[in-house]
A and B are shown apart, each in its own frame.
Chain A
Amino acid sequence: MIDITAAGLDFSLIAPEIALLVAAFIILLTGYVRGLSNLSFTIAFIGLVVGIALSVGQWGQQASGFYGMVTCDNFGVAFKVMFASITLLVLLLGTRYMKSRGILKPEYYALLLISTMGMMVMANTTDLVVMFLGLEIMSIPLYVLAGFARRSLESNESGLKYFIMGSFASAFLLMGIAFIFGASGTTELRRIVADIGFIIDHHRIFLYTGVTLILVGFGFKVAAVPFHSWVPDVYQGAPTPVTAFFSVGPKAAGFAVLLRIFLFGFAGLAFLSSVFWVLAVLTMTIGNVLALRQKNVKRLLAYSSIAHAGYILVALAVGGENAISAAVFYLVAYAVFNLGGFAVVTLLETRSGCKSDFVELPGLSKAHPYLSAVLALFMFALSGFPPTVGFFGKFYLFAAAVKANFIWLTVIGVMNSFLSVYYYLRVIKASYIDPSEKSWAPVTYSPAMLVVLFITVIGTLGLGLFPQQLLQFAREAIFAFL
């Protein structure tokens, strides 16, 4: 019997999570108090900055607390910093949009913060049950956020679909965890790793079934084919800033967990590599093929996010230090330019009545040359065009695959990334080349939006020209991971 005392609980390990939670609570309590309701944005902002600062402070330490439930290592910290930064950018890019649609409420901030906290919980542990809890803390606010525009039928539908599919996947995940627990008597990955030989010998069926169901549960979150079909509908219907958040935050969290579980916990199961091989190929190919004919930019970006998940799944098939750091690199890079792309889409949608269909784009290059240049830059980054960071992300990823002798996977991956150019080019073509019939409604920039665009543009180009800092970061992040 464990003797529970305060000694085992080191709250500094979960300080960033606490910071976000406290900020969310303050927002909930003050949000509807007259005179204080305008402070929500500021509180959320401060909470996130504090969260980032506390996370950075944890960098380099290697500690475990709460009786093995919380593990603080560089890998988790890197992701925590990433999540909080993503949320910060989403906060900045979305406020104006939410206000223009009349759905800017204090809950929006609180839900974002709580969801971010859930992601942090996911990244900060090696225990499957805690991962499940983190996943739910992340997902439940996301269901609400997807349907946040209550009057909009699309948003309703988006929330409903996300909720049903999400809880459906959660059930599979929980079942998987139950099987793993049954097979190994624990849910703590480190203990599973220690006994993996014994478990394989004695409880193979339970273990394999459990592993599969866990793969399904998290594969759903990162939109791996065939668990991807919710993505386009949910992305398209949700309010655009929320979609921006969906496309990078939960995806990164899902991958953080997948990397941990499958390249650390179940690294002993060699055949998983071939499973991920197939998943990666399916995911990137189907994502790209489906993106081809889209007529809505948000939907196109949704399919593109599926394809990008496919590229990152390559790292899971490959395994090893190079691949993991490449995956971390790719996730950061993807977050930067995908948020940038969504920032432009959000900005364009701030104009009333716009749903970011392709037909709305022509004339952009004439009316807003800088904005369309920025949009083109992000499209090039998404398609992996040098010297943007998108190219380097793919470069490291596929280089790691080649190194580990996954030649065919690389060939398919590179071919896919080249074919993907075709549809990204359509966005550029629509904004630059297609003739515009209507006069272009003006776009107003908010200072926050300019900050976001500036950061993402600098990130996309700067990290492309000087990727060594980020690569170094990614390498250090997986220090002591294996």
Chain B
Amino acid sequence: MFETFFPILLLVVFATLLAILLVTFSILFGRRTKLGKKGESYECGIDPVGSTKDPVPVKFYLIAILFIIFDLEVVFLYPWAVISRKLGLFGFIEMLVFVVILLVGYFYILSRGALKWD
């Protein structure tokens, strides 16, 4: 057990030490300047406009929600794809049914106009 995990332990210890070391060095030896530009979000020069807590249009959420669903349904395609040859025509038809079910959802979304941006 111990031997198996020893390299990992070593890695963890080393990484931790290195991180602490680097931060400590930077605190000790770094130069401190208190210029206004340093406190800004984008040091490269673009001034931020307005508050970051402004509401985002609902459309974004909607798209996100729809994305979650369609994205995850694809999970069923992978196992099918692996043995699709073995399943043959039957498997193909089954998967068609599955996709048609998804398509029903898609057409419903279309008919509700959820994907229209305006």
Contacts and interface: CB of A to CB of B under 8 A. Distances in A.
B90 A29 contact: no
Contacts of B105: 28
Interface hub of B105, B107, B111 (most chain A Cβ within 10 A): B111
A33 interface: yes
Contact of A32 (B87, B91, B104, B112): B112
A298 B99 CA distance: 42
A25 interface: yes
B67 interface: no
Interface string A329-345: 00000000000000000
A33 B87 contact: no
Interface string B80-118: 000000010011000000000100110110011000000
Interface string A1-39: 000111000000000000000000100110111000000
B90 A5 contact: yes
B94 to A, nearest CB: 9
B76 to A, nearest CB: 13
Given A4-B87, A6-B90, A33 B104 contact: no
A32 B108 CA distance: 8
Contacts of B101: 25
Contact of B111 (A4, A6, A31): A31
- Secondary structure at chain B's binding surface: helix, strand, loop or mixed? helix
A106 to B, nearest CB: 9
Contact of A25 (B91, B104, B112): B104
Nearest to A7: B90
A31 B111 CA distance: 9
A33 B113 CA distance: 12
A28 B90 contact: no
Contacts of A5: 90
A25 B91 CA distance: 23
Contacts of A6: 90
B104 A4 contact: no
B112 A29 contact: no
A416 B90 CA distance: 57
Interface string A208-238: 0000000000000000000000000000000
Nearest to A26: B104
Contacts of B90: 4-6
Contacts of B104: 25, 28-29
Contacts of B112: 32
A17 to B, nearest CB: 13
A59 B16 CA distance: 67
Contacts of A4: 87, 90-91
B107 A29 contact: yes
A5 B86 CA distance: 10
B91 A29 contact: no
A4 B84 CA distance: 11
A28 B111 CA distance: 9
B87 A28 contact: no
Contacts of B87: 4
Contacts of A29: 104, 107-108, 111
Nearest to B109: A28
Nearest to A24: B104
B67 to A, nearest CB: 18
A366 B112 CA distance: 46
A151 to B, nearest CB: 15
B83 to A, nearest CB: 9
Nearest to A4: B87
Interface string B60-87: 0000000000000000000000000001
Nearest to A28: B108
A4 B83 CA distance: 11
Interface in A22-67: 25, 28-29, 31-33
Contacts of B91: 4
Nearest to B113: A32
A33 B112 CA distance: 10
A32 B105 CA distance: 13
Contacts of A28: 104-105, 107-108
A25 B105 CA distance: 8
Given A28-B107, A31-B108, 8 more contacts: A4-B90, A6-B90, A29-B107, A29-B111, A31-B111, A32-B108, A32-B111, A33-B111
6 contacts: A25-B104, A28-B108, A29-B107, A29-B108, A32-B112, A33-B111
The 5 closest A-B pairs by CB, nearest first: A32-B111, A28-B108, A25-B104, A6-B90, A29-B107
Interface of B: 87, 90-91, 101, 104-105, 107-108, 111-112
